[in-house]
Structure 1
Amino acid sequence: MLSNKLFPDAHVLPSIIKACAGLLAVNIGKQVHGFSLTSGLSLDPFVESSLIHFYVKCDEIIAAHKLFDNMAERDVVSWSALAAGYARKGEVANAKKVFDQVQYLGFEPNSVSWNGMIAGFNQSGCVLDAVLMFQQMHLQGFKSDGTSISSVLPAIGDLGYLSTGSQVHGYVMKMGFYVDKCIVSALIDMYGKCQCPLDMTRVFEETGQVDIGACNALIAGLSRHGLVDEALKVFRELHGRERELNVVSWTSIIACCSQHGKDIEALELFREMQATALMHGKAAHCFSLKRDITSDVYVGSALIDMYANCGKIQLARSFFDRMPIRNLVCWNVMLGAYAMHGNAKEAIEIFLWMQRSGQKADAVSFTSLLSACSQSGLTEEGRYYFESMTKDHGVEARLEHYACIVSLLGRAGKLEEAYSMIKNMPFEPDSCVWGALLSSCRLHHNMRLGEVAAGKLFELEPENPGNYILLSNIYASKGKFKEVDRVRDIMRDKGLRKNPGCSWIELKNKVHMLLAGDKSLPQMSQVLDKLDKLSMEMKKAGYMPNTDYVLQDVEEQEKEHILCGHSEKLAVVFGLLNTSQGSPLRVTKNLRICGDCHAVIKFISRFEKREIFVRDTNRYHHFKDGDCSCGDYW
């Protein structure tokens, strides 16, 4: 248009500025701003308003504020955008200062003004400010709409304000907002976060909706409370109605099964998901590469998470470093990736970088940070961040944070301190907290506290076989096999069974499952022969099998034979036989890797000159040249 000597007027220029905002094209937008100044169009109120929206959306909030202060005719639209911009950045004081200026500007806030503040505070993790702004809106006589309600409910859930959430629920029913799918999903999510699974299910049933967002919220909430059978039922009903499932649906139900002992169901669901979604996922990734949108914060976050889950932590970090813009989700995904791999020092480095960049941490950030410290045995660092979370960052400790700190202390052998932490918690500990203590008692063979933790878990989740197995293992490690038999009798009476050790390895686009002690694999004779040869080489090098990890009351020779049948060993050797020399191996296990298998795989990585990645229920282990990334602490 310009090359044809046609100059935009005050009607066209706002459209150009809006396009720059949509593309986050900061430099071009500034050039357009310069053009508006030289042409005199910058004084037009529509052009000024468009420029303020542009700067806010491009995170140039200081430029937006300066422009607003110099406006000849300030309006409610520009003022609302500026206040919401500060709220989204988590700059509470500046957001409220701008918002309070309305009394001197000659106009009143409208629904967009209030909604921008509530949604902005919620997005930036300032959840208490979001709820207070919502209450202030009502006190001043403004009615909530669908946007304000769906924005404040997540904040209410994060705070655990059940009474406030119930009041909002009553308002929703009174105003007939049940038809709003976003509100229904937010209500279900809120009740889930407030530890109210019955209310969560009631909302889902009352609305009669089968919207995928509501279903995903219900599945996630049921999973959070360990109600895996109910979650599976909801998922299967949705799937049976041939509803379009998305990645959140599949991820939620697979994680739910995996975290609560239903490993076979998790594997079956994963394979089913692969069959229906893998082609779409690959197409989406290729599309993002062709269109050069991998730097987009949402696409980038998904890629970081995907590569971290596949064990490629360096590639995940490479994507993170190349992102020109990062939001809270990006930072948290990278923190979670390092926590998953037990890279505590790198997680702390990311957290400190996050602080320097001005991004405020939230509850999810600290969960990942504390988890990373726990995985690596950084006890003092974990204590420091747990204390500073509330004191320095204003983030109230939740159940998941206490579970992390209990695990941190327990794994370091400070079991009495961990138990004292549980007894002094400001709310009732859940199964995650007691489970963290029981796992630590199993690690350190502490029978007294193990019995306490197991007793609590038997009350909270009586149908979870894993808790009975952990207590049984503690008794077995002490040689109390009568107690072992008693626990197993209880399991049998309840119809519970131990989940067999199971490992998976993908070779030539096909997933192979190996069960502990299973002889049905076509190549099992070759696998066992190779394992025998490796055992001989290990004994020559001075390695002796650690039979402490066999908890059956059998002879020593039989214990060595049992160790050879552990599924992760079988999967690694199966991979050696079916891949070219030097290629890496990736194995997934449904249980925690045992110490003997860990030592064997370390030896194999050096003897066979292979990189071996093993993902167990606890973390990633990266074996290379006879060492493991966990530093033998897991």
Structure 2
Amino acid sequence: MLFLGFLPDKYIFPSVIKACAGLSTLGIGRQVHSLVSVTGFGLDTFVQSSLVHMYVKCGEMKDAHRVFDRMLDRSVVCWSALVAGYARQGYVDKANELFDEMRSFGVEPNLVSWNGLIAGFSQNGLLSKSLLILQKMHLEGFKPDGTTISCVLSVVGDLEGLPIGIQIHAYVLKQALHSDKWVVSALLDMYGKCGSPSAMMQVFYELPQMEVASCNALVAGLSRNGLVEDALKVFKQYKDNKIELNVVSWTSIIACCTQNGKDIEALQLFREMQLSGVKPNAVTIPCLLPACANIAALMHGKAAHCFSIRKGISSDVYVGSALIDMYGKCGRIVDSRHCFDSLPARNLVCWNAIMRGYAMHGMAGEAIDIFNLMQKNGHKPDFISFTCVLSACCQGGLTKEGLQYFEKMSQEYGIEARMEHYACITTLLSRAGRLKEAYSMIKEMPFEPDACVWGALLSSCRVYANVSLGEVAAEKLFKLEPNNAGNYVLLSNIYAAKGMWNEVYRVRDAMSSMGLTKNPGCSWIEIKNEVYILLAGDRSHPQMAQIIERLERLNMEMKKSGYLPDTNFVLQDVEQQDKENILCGHSEKLAVGLGLLCTPPGSALRVIKNLRICGDCHTVIKFISMFEGREIFVRDTNRFHHFKDGMCSCGDYW
């Protein structure tokens, strides 16, 4: 229009300025403002009002106020926009001052004014202020509408103020606002955040009709409370009712599965999402990738990476950090570093993710290098950064360096040690055989040690067969986690390693009387895009006979090479041959055996185990890597073991 020589008038300018506000293009907005001034429309009320809104939307409150001060006719809309803008940026006194000043100029605030003030404080994290404004609004006789209630319920949820939420729910029913879909969604969200799933389900059952916003809020609320089965049931119900689910719906249920241990279901839902025609976005991919990471589904993770590249979102900092984490947990630390290096901008989450990956792979030197490089790039480490670097020192056996970082954390960085840092230091000392020092540190902690700290000590007592300290740690854990069978098993294993069979039977009888059962060893392996799960001692897999036969042949080759099974890792009072048979049934060996059968010679194998890898399996897999010419990656609860040419990356220190 300008190019053709036509000048805008007072009707065109407000539309153009509104477009600038909608796109948050401040630079173009300023140019339009200049054009307004030189064309003589700078004093038009509608143009001025549009400029105020544009500057408020772009966060330029000084410019907005400057235009506002020049206005001769200030409407309630302009007053409300300016008040909301200051509230949104956290200028509490200024927002309240303007709100009162509006009245002194004879302009009475309306519902939009009140809502703007409430929403502004809420968006800036001033939650209590929002509730005070609601109270003031109510006392002055203004009736909150659906917008007010939706905003305030979000505040109540963040504050976990269930009693206030129930009062507001009562108001919703009295004012017949329960037919407002945004109010219903806000109620579901509030009850979910307040840890009241029963009330949330009651709201759901009273819905006049199903719609997508309530589905999203309900799934998120159920997920937050760990009710993944209920969330899946609700999601299926919405699908069966032909509700048009959007990207938020699918992303919510995928995130719910990922966060609650339903990783395979998360991958299946992602496939369904694509088949239904809903396109994943930059939020969906970071929700999916942890599922790939948890079960080392590398091919699925790579497919998600390719998808993110095609959609142009791979450089997004959240997608990037999830990719770094996924490749690290799938044993591809080189790819993890490549993703890290290719990010145009990195936040602290990215730095921590690559450090965590190096720590998991026992690459302590690289983790420390990243820790130093992060600071050179202007990022100050947080408590997670120190957890990563301490964990790296644990895996690399850098006891002295780990203790130094622990001291620096508070002395140089002003970060007080948390429970996870004490758990790392306990592990660091214990794994180095310094069990008494670890116990002394636990006793000197400034707060009561939790199960992670005592668990770290108990695990190391198992490694070093320290009965006395093992009993101390176990007794603490029995009180903290009375239903955790793993603690009883660890103590039983310590007794068994010392041949104290009467004590073993006593612990196992105690477990039996409490109805506790040992979690079986379980391993995962991905073969041709499918994840296979194998349990220790389980014979149900259709190829089990071939797996056992292959392992027995390898066992014979190992014995010819001078290897003897380490039956010290069979913690049962049985004959020697029975012990060897039990060792053959360990889940990580079964997974490796399946991999040998079903993958081309020379290809790498990646296995995850739910427990710490045993010493005998570690020795066996070292031999297999050499004999079969394979790279084998095994991720246990502690770290990654990279087996190649008969050697392991851990240096037999784990």
TM-score (norm 2): 0.69
Cα distance in structure 2, aligned partners of 1:51 and 1:173: 38
- 1:470 deviation in Å? 1.1
Given that residues 324 and 354 in structure 2 are in contact (C-alpha distance below 8 angstroms), is that contact kept between their aligned partners in structure 1? yes
From 155, 164, 186, the equivalent of 1:171 is 164
Map 1:144-155 onto structure 2 (within 5 A): 146-147=150-151, 150=154, 154=158
Cα distance in structure 2, aligned partners of 1:316 and 1:142: 53
Cα distance in structure 2, aligned partners of 1:204 and 1:425: 40
Given that residues 17 and 32 in structure 2 are in contact (C-alpha distance below 8 angstroms), is that contact kept between their aligned partners in structure 1? no
Give, as a single letter, the amino acid of the residue that structure 1 aligns with 2:270: A
Map 1:383-532 onto structure 2 (within 5 A): 383=403, 399-425=419-445, 428-519=448-539, 521-532=541-552
Map 1:213-612 onto structure 2 (within 5 A): 213=217, 216-217=220-221, 219-221=223-225, 231=227, 234=230, 238=234, 241=237, 246=250, 249=253, 256=260, 269-280=262-273, 284=280, 285=304, 288-326=308-346, 330=350, 333-334=353-354, 337-338=357-358, 340-348=360-368, 368=388, 370-379=390-399, 382-383=402-403, 399-425=419-445, 428-519=448-539, 521-535=541-555, 538=558, 544-556=564-576, 558-612=578-632
Map 1:133-152 onto structure 2 (within 5 A): 133-135=126-128, 146-147=150-151, 150=154
Given that residues 122 and 151 in structure 2 are in contact (C-alpha distance below 8 angstroms), is that contact kept between their aligned partners in structure 1? no
- Cα 1:38–1:115 change in 2 (3 A) is closer
Given that residues 119 and 148 in structure 1 are in contact (C-alpha distance below 8 angstroms), is that contact kept between their aligned partners in structure 2? no
Given that residues 305 and 337 in structure 1 are in contact (C-alpha distance below 8 angstroms), is that contact kept between their aligned partners in structure 2? yes
The alignment partner of 1:573 has SS state of helix
- 1:554 deviation in Å? 3.9
Map 1:615-626 onto structure 2 (within 5 A): 615-626=635-646
Give, as a single letter, the amino acid of the residue that structure 2 aligns with 1:280: M
Match of 1:32 in 2: 28
Given that residues 118 and 152 in structure 1 are in contact (C-alpha distance below 8 angstroms), is that contact kept between their aligned partners in structure 2? no
Given that residues 297 and 325 in structure 1 are in contact (C-alpha distance below 8 angstroms), is that contact kept between their aligned partners in structure 2? yes
- Cα 1:138–1:510 change in 2 (3 A) is closer
Given that residues 162 and 191 in structure 2 are in contact (C-alpha distance below 8 angstroms), is that contact kept between their aligned partners in structure 1? yes
Give, as a single letter, the amino acid of the residue that structure 2 aligns with 1:583: S
The question of 1:50 aligning with 2:43 is answered no
- Per-residue CA shift, 1:498-549, capped at 9, x if unaligned? 2332323222233333333445545445444543454455556665543332
- 1:599 deviation in Å? 3.0
Long gaps (5+) in structure 2: 71-78, 103-112, 138-147, 173-182, 206-213, 240-244, 281-303
Further displaced range: 559-568 or 586-595: 559-568
- Per-residue CA shift, 1:84-133, capped at 9, x if unaligned? 56xxxxxxxxx7xx66666898968976567556545xxxxxxxxx5xx4
Given that residues 622 and 643 in structure 2 are in contact (C-alpha distance below 8 angstroms), is that contact kept between their aligned partners in structure 1? yes
Given that residues 609 and 634 in structure 2 are in contact (C-alpha distance below 8 angstroms), is that contact kept between their aligned partners in structure 1? yes
- Give identity over the alignment, percent: 46
Map 1:90-105 onto structure 2 (within 5 A): none
Map 1:186-205 onto structure 2 (within 5 A): 188-189=192-193, 200=196, 204=200
- Cα 1:316–1:5 change in 2 (3 A) is farther
- Cα 1:151–1:317 change in 2 (3 A) is farther
Q: How many residues align?
A: 559
The alignment partner of 2:602 has SS state of coil
Further displaced range: 438-447 or 103-112: 103-112
- 1:472 deviation in Å? 0.9
- Per-residue CA shift, 1:235-288, capped at 9, x if unaligned? 57646756787565566567656xxxxxxxxxxx54444444334369634664
- Cα 1:368–1:183 change in 2 (3 A) is farther
Match of 1:88 in 2: none
The alignment partner of 2:313 has SS state of coil
Given that residues 472 and 483 in structure 1 are in contact (C-alpha distance below 8 angstroms), is that contact kept between their aligned partners in structure 2? yes
Given that residues 379 and 409 in structure 1 are in contact (C-alpha distance below 8 angstroms), is that contact kept between their aligned partners in structure 2? yes
Match of 2:20 in 1: 17
Match of 2:178 in 1: none
Cα distance in structure 2, aligned partners of 1:321 and 1:82: 39
Cα distance in structure 1, aligned partners of 2:61 and 2:408: 32
- Per-residue CA shift, 1:125-166, capped at 9, x if unaligned? xxxxx5xx4446667876796546635855x6xxxxxxxx5x
- Cα 1:367–1:529 change in 2 (3 A) is same
Give, as a single letter, the amino acid of the residue that structure 2 aligns with 1:415: L
- Cα 1:583–1:14 change in 2 (3 A) is farther
- Per-residue CA shift, 1:586-610, capped at 9, x if unaligned? 2222222112222332343344333
- 1:447 deviation in Å? 1.8
- Cα 1:568–1:497 change in 2 (3 A) is same
Cα distance in structure 1, aligned partners of 2:362 and 2:252: 25
- Per-residue CA shift, 1:468-512, capped at 9, x if unaligned? 211111111121111111222222333333233232322223333
- Cα 1:293–1:621 change in 2 (3 A) is same
Bigger radius of gyration, 1 or 2? Answer: 2
Given that residues 568 and 597 in structure 1 are in contact (C-alpha distance below 8 angstroms), is that contact kept between their aligned partners in structure 2? yes
Given that residues 88 and 121 in structure 2 are in contact (C-alpha distance below 8 angstroms), is that contact kept between their aligned partners in structure 1? yes
Cα distance in structure 2, aligned partners of 1:323 and 1:386: 30
- Cα 1:483–1:612 change in 2 (3 A) is same
Map 1:55-74 onto structure 2 (within 5 A): 73=69
- Cα 1:528–1:172 change in 2 (3 A) is closer
- Cα 1:504–1:135 change in 2 (3 A) is closer
Further displaced range: 349-358 or 610-619: 349-358
- Cα 1:398–1:608 change in 2 (3 A) is same
- Cα 1:254–1:37 change in 2 (3 A) is closer
Given that residues 419 and 453 in structure 2 are in contact (C-alpha distance below 8 angstroms), is that contact kept between their aligned partners in structure 1? yes
- Cα 1:215–1:272 change in 2 (3 A) is closer
The alignment partner of 1:10 has SS state of helix
When the two chains are superposed, the root-mean-square deviation of aligned CA atoms in Å is 4.6
Further displaced range: 310-319 or 442-451: 310-319
Given that residues 586 and 614 in structure 1 are in contact (C-alpha distance below 8 angstroms), is that contact kept between their aligned partners in structure 2? yes
Cα distance in structure 2, aligned partners of 1:580 and 1:13: 63
Long gaps (5+) in structure 1: 22-28, 57-63, 86-94, 121-129, 157-164, 192-199, 223-230, 258-268
Match of 1:161 in 2: none
- 1:396 deviation in Å? 6.2
- Cα 1:83–1:377 change in 2 (3 A) is farther
TM-score (norm 1): 0.70
- Cα 1:324–1:30 change in 2 (3 A) is farther
- Per-residue CA shift, 1:433-454, capped at 9, x if unaligned? 4333322322332222322332
